Chains A and B, each alone.
Chain A
Amino acid sequence: SQELEQSPQSLIVQEGKNLTINCTSSKTLYGLYWYKQKYGEGLIFLMMLQKGGEEKSHEKITAKLDEKKQQSSLHITASQPSHAGIYLCGAPRKTSYDKVIFGPGTSLSVIP
């Protein structure tokens, strides 16, 4: 089973709408990364969260790590077609801080 779960698996929204993507772990996270991927391309780093309760924003994207450090959310405000892609969360494993595992990804489509 996946150590990191993401929901929803896919999302289709109208341009201008807000949306939230979730990333959940059954174990305490020692850091959480959010990436965006265009189909057939590499991953682009968005944000890194390390402390419980931490929240970071970049342009219209906000990410938060809950106090227990087991769940993170990525929120996009007033979505645009440029936000379309696959969003993946990643985290270092507790047993080996140099191993980074990833969730299965959430595919986002934004309809103009």
Chain B
Amino acid sequence: DGGITQSPKYLFRKEGQNVTLSCEQNLNHDAMYWYRQDPGQGLRLIYYSQIVNDFQKGDIAEGYSVSREKKESFPLTVTSAQKNPTAFYLCASTYGRAYNSPLHFGNGTRLTVT
């Protein structure tokens, strides 16, 4: 079955460490997205990528980095520069342009940094 796989589901890290969240899709979608979800704040866009080897900053990109070396993969690195990294992270993808093609989401990774 086609879908978006995020791993791991739960991740624990010590403050000061970088951590990479995995996102893989087999939907043959061109665009991929990373969102962060905090209680009561909905989803906030971190980074998005329309094609391989290209990506754009979202609204809260500081302290995060991404790469898009393959169409199927869009890993997110949470660096030690991110002041409040504890959150629920969601990866999404879409086939066409987001204004006429809904995003499909993975099941998320809950990151806890202590």
B-binding residues in A (CB < 8 A): 2, 4, 9, 30-31, 33, 35, 40-45, 48, 50, 88, 90, 92, 97-105
Excluding A40-B88, A88-B42, A98-B48, 17 further A-B contacts by CB distance (< 8 Å) are A4-B42, A31-B100, A42-B4, A42-B105, A42-B108, A45-B102, A45-B104, A90-B43, A92-B98, A97-B97, A97-B98, A98-B56, A99-B58, A100-B45, A100-B98, A100-B103, A102-B42
- On chain B, the residues within 8 Å of A92 by CB distance are 98-99
A-binding residues in B (CB < 8 A): 4, 6, 31, 33, 35, 40-43, 45, 48, 50, 56, 58, 88, 90, 92, 97-100, 102-108, 110
In the bound complex, do residue B42 and residue A105 qualify as a contact, i.e. CB atoms below 8 Å apart?
A: yes
In the bound complex, do residue B97 and residue A33 qualify as a contact, i.e. CB atoms below 8 Å apart?
A: no
Q: How far is the CB of A103 from chain B (nearest CB, A)?
A: 6
Q: How far is the CB of A94 from chain B (nearest CB, A)?
A: 9
In the bound complex, do residue B97 and residue A98 qualify as a contact, i.e. CB atoms below 8 Å apart?
A: yes
Partner of B43, one of A9, A40, A102: A102
Cα A103 to Cα B98 in complex, Å, equals 16
Q: How far is the CB of B56 from chain A (nearest CB, A)?
A: 8
Q: How far is the CB of A46 from chain B (nearest CB, A)?
A: 9
